[in-house]
Amino acid sequence: GMGLALAEAARKWPGVVLLVTADSQQASRLEEEVRFFSNDELPILHFPDWETLPYDQLSPHQDITSERLRILAQLPTLSQGLVITPITTLAQRLAPPSWLSAQSFSLKNGQKFDLDDTRQRLEAVGYRAVETVYEHGEYAVRGGLIDLFPMGSLVPFRVDLFDDEIDSIRTFDPDSQRSLYPVPEVRLLPGREFPMDDAARAIFRH
C-alpha cells in the first residue's frame, strides 16, 4: 500500500522527505499508515493546517499552533524523516527560523530569576496570564511558584523559586494540578507563530 511505499522511500532517502497531500483528512490517514509501517524508526511529523486565516478574528486552536511551533523548531535539526502536510498549509508563509529562535528562551535550574522581567518576556512573545494553567500558551504566578504550559510541549511545568533563583522545575498534571517529575530545563517557544505588535499588523494589512 501507499503507507508502506512511503515508509520505505523515507527510510532510504538521505534527507527529509516532504509529503504534500490534497487535504487534512488525507494527511492524517497517511500519517497513520506510515507510522504503522515505519516501526518508530523515523521521525514522522504531521504539520497541521491552521484551519483559519492568519490574523483572523478566529485564532487557530492553541494545540494546533503548539504542534506547528514544535515542528518548526525541530526542522532545522532534522537530518532524516518524513514531513506530511496538506497543500493548503504549504501555500501559507511560515515564520523564519531566525524569528522563532529570537522569540524563544530557556529557564534552567539554579538560574538567576527576575519575576517582572520574565513576566514581560512571556507577555511579549504571546503567553497569557491566567488564574490556573490548563492549556498551551498560559502562565500563572502564585507566590514563589510559576506555572507555565510552553508551546510545543506535551506537558506544563511548575517553576519553584527560592529568593532570586530557580530552585526546581517540575512537570505537573493540568487536570489534578499536582506536581510530577523534576526536569533540569524548560525551553519556551513563543506563544504564537507571528509577531502581533502594531508594526506587524500594519505590514500584514499592507
Contact 151, 61 (CB under 8 A): no
Residue 150 vs residue 96, higher pLDDT = 150
For 191, left (φ over 0), alpha (ψ -120 to 50), or beta?
A: alpha
pLDDT of residue 51: 78
What's the chain's average pLDDT?
89
Is pLDDT at 54 greater than 90 in this prediction? no
Distance (Å, rounded) from C-alpha 133 to C-alpha 142? 11
SS (H, E, C) 25-79: HHHHHHHHHHHHHHCCCCCEEECCCCCCCCCCCCCCCHHHHHHHHHHHHHHHHCC
Q: For residue 199, what pLDDT band results from cuts at 50, 70 and 90?
A: low
Distance (Å, rounded) from C-alpha 114 to C-alpha 111? 10
Is pLDDT at 56 greater than 80 in this prediction? no
Identify the helix (H) or strand (E) that includes residue 182. Answer: strand 179-182
Is pLDDT at 45 greater than 60 in this prediction? yes
pLDDT of residue 197: 64
- CA–chain centroid gap for 195, Å, is 15
Cell of 129: 496570564
Handedness of CA 36, 40, 42, 44 (dihedral sign): positive
Per-residue pLDDT averaged across 56-80, rounded? 84
